[in-house]
Amino acid sequence: MEAFIQITQELLGSEQVRMMGRWKHHGPITTLDHSLFVAYLSYRAAKALGLDERAAARGGLLHDLYLYDSKDKSAHPGWQCFDHPRAAARNAEALTELSEKERNIILSHMWPLGGALPRSPEALLVDLVDTFCAGLEVFRIYHPSRLRKRLGVQPLTAGT
């Protein structure tokens, strides 16, 4: 967990990432808790598989950085499935220097439903981990706020 925190430190402390705590993503789970869950599991899996764990951790953490209420139809122009990876990539680019691989991880995380094609094993991995985490969240098998607390990340809610 220490190495994961070190890799993502700059992002974990940023307002943009902590702001994801304002919006719910799957039922009662915030986008921040979901993103930390995806980032950490992607990091662990990438490490175990001998892949680029830094790109998996950072791409996983930023994959849903769209920063709006997904239920608010006026917040984005089209279909959430296509729109939110693009919005997340835009916001991530403004926040940090993204590698081409990290950018593709974000843009392709909804594949094959929409968006770009995954162009690396790490992109495919984050895509799979995202689906796996969403399943655990939707069926209330795991509440990732426990992981957020262990990581020591404070959500930035409206008014804080």
Q: Segment contacting Fe ion (CB under 5 A): 10-18, 67-75, 93-101, 126-134? A: 126-134
Complex with Fe ion: residue 19 or 160, whichever CB lies closer = 19
Complex with Fe ion: residue 64 or 122, whichever CB lies closer = 64
| Distance between CA atoms of residues 48 and 6, nearest Å | 18
- What's the one-letter identity of residue 32? L
Q: Does 64 bind Fe ion (CB under 5 A)?
A: yes
- What's the one-letter identity of residue 105? I
| Distance between CA atoms of residues 117 and 135, nearest Å | 22
Complex with Fe ion: residue 6 or 131, whichever CB lies closer = 131
Complex with Fe ion: residue 52 or 130, whichever CB lies closer = 130
Complex with Fe ion: residue 64 or 102, whichever CB lies closer = 64
CB-hemisphere CA count at 13 Å for 14? 17
Position among 33, 102, 127, 130 found at the interface with Fe ion (CB under 5 A): 130
| Distance between CA atoms of residues 38 and 144, nearest Å | 9
Residue with tokens 């700059």: 10
Q: Which of 142, 132, 76 is nearest to 109 (CA)?
A: 132
DSSP 8-state class, residue 158: T
Q: Does 127 bind Fe ion (CB under 5 A)?
A: no
Smallest distance from Fe ion to CB 80, Å: 9
Contact string (CB under 5 A) for Fe ion, positions 69-108, x = contact: ----------------------------------------
Count the residues of the shown chain that bind Fe ion, applying the rule CB under 5 A: 2
Residues 76 and 86 sit within 8 Å (Cβ to Cβ): no
* Sites of contact with Fe ion (CB under 5 A): 64, 130
